[in-house]
Structure 1
Amino acid sequence: MNSRVGAAVIIAILAAGCTSVSPPPPTVSVGPVTVRPQEAHDVTAAPPAAAEPCDREASLPPGPLPAAGEMPPGSTMAVIARRGRLVVGVDQNTYGFGFRDPTTGRIEGFDIDVAREIARAVFGDPDRIDLRVVDARDRETALMSGQVDVVVRTYSITCERRRSVDFSTVYFVANQRILAPRGTRIDTADDLSGRRVCAVTGTTSLSNLVAINPRPFVIGVTAWTDCLVMLQQNQVDAISTDDAVLAGLAEQDPTVEIVGPSLEVEPYGVGVGKYHEDLVRFVNGVLERMRLDGTWDRLYDRWLTRLGPSPGPPAATYGGS
């Protein structure tokens, strides 16, 4: 083969390679996958109701508050003082009450500042506090086991819960309502029948939802932000819980709104373990001082104005001796 022929052959081969078309890759079809938040589950039965009714808002009357740093010897407060920190069960997912500030990483909110006032009364320093994040379903367990001294976590007082733990006087009153996308035909509890509704496991909201007849399809999750994600992804039709919590969710998503009348009144109290009556009285003394010296109103104006003008602190109800 001479050089001219060889060159021609090479050019022909290269040309054939350039003009050949590779077969297309096989088509891969992936359908959309609905991802539920971890531990989301269908709720088919209401939590057990209390065996006997009670005056759920009544708490022990406070005595005179001791001076900060001078807790009575042998008292629960003295034990806390020796430890050097008040240990508090809180939330980190409820905007306005207990949430983690994305800028500072600190847990802040109305409930957190109430806890700080209790620490201030013990130590004279609101920063002598150890915040422990506790799921709603674990609040009683945390108190009964002694993991925390108190729980300040949008904690509704109920007769059933009073069988396991004690409560302070009411420091905030919420109402269970509904959060739904704007423009949907959901306005009342009856409109939830047959719909998918989200609530957090361990809350009173679940019981009230399961009691609706005909019953909605209730889905329980770990945190209210999980409910908001499910609503945004059309995995549920609505969320129902305290309006104070819903207002924080609505603040994060302008496409939703709070609708309908109250399904149930929800009084919040500070949870305290059984057999610590002195601590219950002490906390009640702190709350009473907050009512009288304007601290409660100051905290409301800092964290909760999205709920409207301050209604003022709820009056204390005392019972026992």
Structure 2
Amino acid sequence: MTRTRMGLAVVATGAILLALAGCSGDSSPLPSAAGRATTTTPPPEQAPGKAAAPDKSCNPRASLKPTGALPEPGHMPAGTYMAEIQKRGRLILGTSQDTLLFSSRNPFTGKVEGFDVDMGRQIAEAIFGNPDKIQIKVIGYDKRVSSAADGSVDIVADTMTANCERWKDVNFSTIYYEAGQKVLVSSDSTAKGMADLGGKRVCAASGSTSYDNIAKAPSKPIAVARAAFGDCLVAFQQNEVDAISTDDTILAGMAAQDPYAKVVGAKFTEEPYGMAMSQQHPEFTRFVNAVLAKNRADGTWTETYKRWLGAFGPAPTPPAAEYR
């Protein structure tokens, strides 16, 4: 079976599981006051140009330090945002429904599940004593910052890289997962990484930092934009592009569904994932960080990794917390 024919089969059977709109990199700005986007979508293909320098004005890994012990579930301190969530009766988690292993809809149960979803469920358990007291709100990857900032969700866990630009609009938790950008190519390709893709068409989602990184690659690949990474996968399977490049976590989900694809090379970026929250409730950020600290210490993080990502090898040491 050719890769193109295989692609048609995968698209027909796997589109529900893996549209992969929830990529970690998102260079889209918040909407302007008038509600319009302040940038336009990149063209479908372009030769690499000079990309804007990354914002290094902060340590994006450093979050707000917890204060005191965690309150008992069901007894959130009066006047806190946690008490407001408790009164409502559910935590609202913003995430995607199509990032395999992290937040994808189970075709048999209809439920959205994965590593990121379990991060949210652990926060719900800390508030209520019940991880099921959670409402999952599916959001577009380009709405992750705005959804956290405007309070339309309580927290976003969606393979989202914490960076200084985003810290201007939202608070991030401490880092809960270390990802990095790699490359996916056909199984018969001799390419070992981005350095071998000069002049080749490499796909990423429009407005993503992954797309920006392709454009900055010294080997000068041709950056190809698609609306979402699911569209990149279709383009790859139909031989319209030579490779896809984004976070290794997302590429692993793609390779798991396409036996004619493989992930190659070492990580050439750092993509530290954090959960995003409104800046209006710093006590909630501190609370979330206390939950993450507890789960690192008692093995909950490791068990969550084994459940969703254990097929890729032994669980690493959880990312160490850094505080401001």
TM score, norm. by length of structure 1: 0.83
**1:121 and 2:113 correspond:** no
Residues of 2 paired with 1:43 and 1:116: CA distance? 40
Partner of residue 294 from structure 1, selected from 296, 299, 303: 299
**1:89 equivalent in structure 2:** 94
User: Secondary structure of the equivalent of 1:71?
Assistant: coil
Which residue in the other structure is 1:14 paired with? none
1-side partners of 2:87 and 2:203: how far apart? 43
Shift of 1:41: 5.1
1:68 maps to: 73
- The CA distance in 1 between the partners of 2:311 and 2:243, in whole Å, is 20
Please report how far the alpha carbon of residue 217 of structure 1 lies from its aligned counterpart in structure 2 after TM superposition. 2.5
Partner of 1:280: 285
Amino acid at match of 2:44: D
Determine if contact 1:46/1:207 at 8 Å carries over to the other structure.
Answer: no
CA distance in 1, matches of 2:144, 2:151: 11
Secondary structure of the residue that 1:262 maps to in structure 2? coil
Q: Does 1:191 align with 2:199?
A: no
2:62 aligned to 41, 44, 58, which one? 58
Partner of 1:231: 236
What CA distance in whole angstroms lies between the structure 1 residues aligned with 2:205 and 2:90?
29
What is aligned with 1:200?
205
Q: Name 2:252's counterpart in structure 1.
A: 247
Q: What is the DSSP-based 3-state SS (H/G/I as helix, E as strand, rest coil) of the residue aligned with 1:210?
A: helix
Equivalent residue, structure 2, for 1:7: none
Partner Cα distance (1:43, 1:82) in 2: 50
Q: What secondary structure, in the 3-state scheme, does the structure 1 residue paired with 2:158 have?
A: coil
Cα–Cα, structure 1 residues 172 and 123, in superposed 2: closer, same or farther, change >3 Å? same
Deviations 1:45-69 (A, max 9, x none): 7875555521110111112211111
Q: TM-score, normalised by structure 2?
A: 0.82
| Equivalent position to 2:178, from 150, 173, 176 | 173
CA drift at 1:215: 3.5
- Per-residue CA deviations over 1:187-231 (Å, capped at 9, x if unaligned) read 222223322212223432122112113533323334332222221
In structure 1, the partner of 2:217 is: 212
| 2:3 aligned residue | none
Distance 1:303 1:292 in 2: 19
After TM superposition, give the deviation of residue 235 of structure 1 in Å. 1.6
Is 1:309 aligned to 2:311, yes or no? no
Superposition pairs of residues 127-138 of structure 1, within 5 angstroms: 127-138=132-143
Identity among equivalent positions (%) equals 44
Q: Is the 8 Å Cα contact of residues 49 and 160 (structure 1) preserved in structure 2?
A: no
SS at match of 1:170: coil
Once the two structures are superposed, residues 101-126 of structure 1 have per-residue CA deviations (whole angstroms, 9 ceiling, x without a partner) of: 11111111010011000011111111
Q: Which runs of 4+ in 1 moved over 6 A?
A: 37-40
Structure 1 residue runs without a partner (length 5+): 1-34
Q: Unpaired runs of 5+ in structure 2?
A: 1-10, 12-18, 22-40
Specify whether residues 193 and 138 from structure 1 end up closer, same or farther in structure 2 by C-alpha distance, changes over 3 A only: farther
Flag the structure with higher strand content: 1
Structure 1 residue aligned with 2:84: 79
Quote the residue 2:275 is aligned against: 270
Mapped partners of 2:148, 2:225: distance in 1: 23
Structure 1 residues 75, 316: closer, same or farther in 2, change over 3 A?
same
Q: Report the secondary structure of 2:178's partner residue.
A: strand
How many Å separate the matches in 1 of 2:134 and 2:197? Answer: 41
Match of 1:141? Answer: 146
Shift, 1:96, TM fit: 0.7
* 2:292 counterpart SS class: helix
Q: Report the 3-state secondary structure (helix = DSSP H, G, I; strand = E; otherwise coil) of the residue aligned with 2:254.
A: helix
Cα distance in 2 for residues equivalent to 1:104 and 1:113: 16
Q: Is 1:104 paired with 2:109?
A: yes
CA distance in 2, matches of 1:208, 1:194: 15
Alignment check: 8 A CA contact 1:135 1:222 kept = no
Q: 1:153 aligns with which of 134, 138, 158?
A: 158
* 1:184 alignment partner AA: S
Tell me the equivalent position of 2:25: none
